[in-house]
Amino acid sequence: MSWVFLTRAGSEQDLVDELGIHKAPEVLTEGVVCAKERPRGPDGHLTDPAFARQAMRLEAHVSAHPDKVVRRVIKAIKAHQPKNKGARSWSWMLQVVSPDSSDPLDPRRKVAATLEEVLAERLPTALPAPVLAEQADLENAERLVQVWVLDEERVCVGLTAATQALSRIPGGRTKLKRPADAVSRSGLKLEEAIYWVGVGPEAGDLCADLGAAPGGWTQVAVGRGATVIAIDPAKMKVDLPKKRFVHAKQSAFDYAPPETLDWVICDMAWRPLEVAQLLAKWARRIWARQMIVNFKLPMQQKAKMLKQVLKVLEKAGWHSLRARQLFHDRDEVTIFGYLDPSRAHLAAQPAFEMRSGPKSAGGVKGGKPRKKSVGRKVKAPRGRTKGRAEARGRGRSARGAGPRTARGAARGRGARSGRGARGGPRGRSR
């Protein structure tokens, strides 16, 4: 059975690219893509395409005439009722949707409004009482009875298990209202991401906000009770309690947290692969246990770039990665993931530091002369003469075998060169 997906207007080709040619995707109209199959993960379970907002298990394409739509919806509901006599019918909810459009006067909206009104009037008299009694609200419906308007002449009718839909909200449009005190609209993206994932920064959590200015995401996290370290050299425009907010005026690429944090969040306008490498570093050094990050994608080949970003994050140790172009995202994708549980309990690893700086004008590293290694011997070249070997032996007898290093003593022999005890890299011997 085919699947139909709703997507953001203008992102149809991105969804087609993500689904791949083996799924035979096809753009039906603006904001709607159909495919013969839905992607599955390695475990065989259905996966959620990142560039889709909602999914429908297609029953039929029918005429947009109200009578024909009513008959097809009733047929779909009855066809999926339990066959066993006495078995309870599943709860359901009707959703009539006009897909996303770049046209503010899209005529499909009027068609959808008319169909919704007609269905609400006729279904109560056409369905059996036990089935009608199972009509439920948004949170309790087990099935979504979906009607999507393709144009003024055609509609798609489908019936989808709520657990297989991408969202319970009609059309997958999680519309949120911007608070009056919000410093930017970006905070809506984090609020929607938390609703989508089902978890986010909360009371008692310590969170880092990379590229935080002007403070939209920090404001949301602090509002949920978390303590936030906002990292950005630019000025923050939020007035928040000092006990739960600190501004680190430095680049997000240079910052290293003092301990493993509960969350790292990021809505930084930067190249996606560089942001992915930054978050990969946070995973490798165990700097945060969970992340919600918004990636800005290029204008072309968004699906290809997203695949590269996910590969970088997964290789670094982020697990159960989920990606979605949310309603409040534009040319962006939001990604959630958590640290490998086998590593999350370990302490944060310190940032890497160079032992010596770059060469100075005088040709000396770090601007300081290096100390000469004491007692260091230079190996004689192969084929050395007998005289050289004897001289080398006499020199060794005069100086003695020298102190044993920890590694050399463990092997039952002295350190020939004295490296590790008197010069050279610490703790090394040959």
Domain ranges in the chain are 3-172, 186-344
CATH dotted code for 186-344: 3.40.50.150
What global pTM score does this model have?
Answer: 0.79
Class of domain 3-172: alpha beta
- Report the pLDDT averaged over residues 143-162: 96
CB 278 within 8 A of CB 253: yes
Q: Which residues are bridge partners to 228 per DSSP? A: 207, 245
Average pLDDT in the chain: 84
Tokens of 409: 């003593």
Helix (H) or strand (E) holding 93: strand 92-97
Q: Which of 50, 39, 54, 47 is nearest to 325 (CA)?
A: 50
Q: What is the DSSP letter of 185?
A: T
Tell me if residue 296 is catalytic.
yes
Query: pLDDT of 287-339, one tens digit each?
Result: 999 999 999 999 999 999 999 999 999 999 999 999 999 999 999 999 999 99
Which carries the bigger pLDDT value, residue 172 or residue 408?
Answer: 172
Does residue 383 have a pLDDT over 60? no
Q: What is the pLDDT of residue 355?
A: 56
At which residue do the structure tokens 């006599």 appear? 85
Catalytic residue selected from 177, 242, 243, 296:
296
Instruction: Tell me the C-alpha distance between 59 and 24, whole Å.
Output: 18
Query: Is residue 150's pLDDT more than 60?
Result: yes
Cβ neighbourhood burial of 378 (10 Å; 0-12, 13-18, 19+):
exposed
* Range of lowest pLDDT (109-123, 266-280, 395-409): 395-409
Q: Please say whether the beta carbons of 7 and 32 come within 8 A.
A: yes
> Nearest-CA neighbor of 48 among 323, 303, 320, 307?
323
For residues 330 and 267, give the distance between their C-alpha atoms in angstroms, rounded to a whole number: 12
- The answer to whether the CB of 245 falls within 8 A of the CB of 223 is no
Is residue 168 within 8 A of residue 144, CB to CB? The reply is: yes
Asked if the model's pLDDT at residue 22 lies above 90, the reply is: no
At CA 253, angle to CA 250 and CA 255, rounded to 5? 55
Both tokens of 99, joined, read 């897909």
